[in-house]
Amino acid sequence: MIPETIQKFIEVFSKLPSIGPRLATRLGFYFASLDKNSLSEIEKAVGGFKFLNRCERCFFFKDKNKKYCAICTDPRRDAQAIAIVEKETDLLSLERAKNFKGHYLILGELAERGTLETTQKLRLQNLKDKIKKELNGKVKEIIIAVNPNTFGDLVAGIIKGEFKDLSEKITRLGRGIPTGGEIEFADEETLRQALERRL
């Protein structure tokens, strides 16, 4: 009873993260009700992604007509501090915190194994080469900003070993009670870390 076009849309969009069949249906009928101009705006917005690719330095997304991403080409940013993150959205979150002014490396989401995948190894190798060739073989700080869980800890250990001669400091993000959080509701592991790393 639902027209094929809308049905197909619902099928495709239901599979997207945070969009279930309910929201996909709602969107489908909303799109169906739009005029040609609004539709073409949406089509253009979706059609742009095929022209995106990744920065050759940090592997963040960049528009195809640019060689590096906006962060790697910003002269105000410090190439001597490099934060290694899993996802592009982790980079965005750190940027929102506004107190890191260095460069990044997007590693890709960690598998639940605690080891590195081939692409991840290649990206780390790329960073090593960059430090050796363009940054006199040593940077001031590498911040391993992968998620603080068992797999993150294992991978952080591996990265620490590989970069020990290429950076003066290798750090991880602080761990403890989130600001605004309550001690009463913190889980044991968080409290243990908060006690161990007390200020």
**To the nearest whole angstrom, how small is the minimum distance from the Cβ of residue 27 to its own copies?**
6
Q: Report whether 141 contacts 81 (CB < 8 A).
A: yes
In which element (H, E) is residue 10 found? helix 4-14
Q: What share of the chain is helix, strand, coil (3-state, %, to 5)?
A: 45, 15, 40
Return the number of the residue (30 or 157) whose C-beta is nearest its own copies. 30
Q: Alpha-carbon distance 73 to 99, whole Å?
A: 18
Return the number of the residue (81 or 166) whose C-beta is nearest its own copies. 81
Pick one of 68, 78, 87, 160: the residue that binds its own copies (CB under 8 A): 87
**To the nearest whole angstrom, how small is the minimum distance from the Cβ of residue 143 to its own copies?**
18
Q: Alpha-carbon distance 199 to 193, whole Å?
A: 11
One-letter amino acid for residue 46 of the chain? V
Contacts with its own copies by CB under 8 A: the residue count is 51
Among the candidate windows 21-29, 110-118, 121-129, 154-162, which touches its own copies by CB under 8 A?
A: 21-29
Return the number of the residue (11 or 189) whose C-beta is nearest its own copies. 11
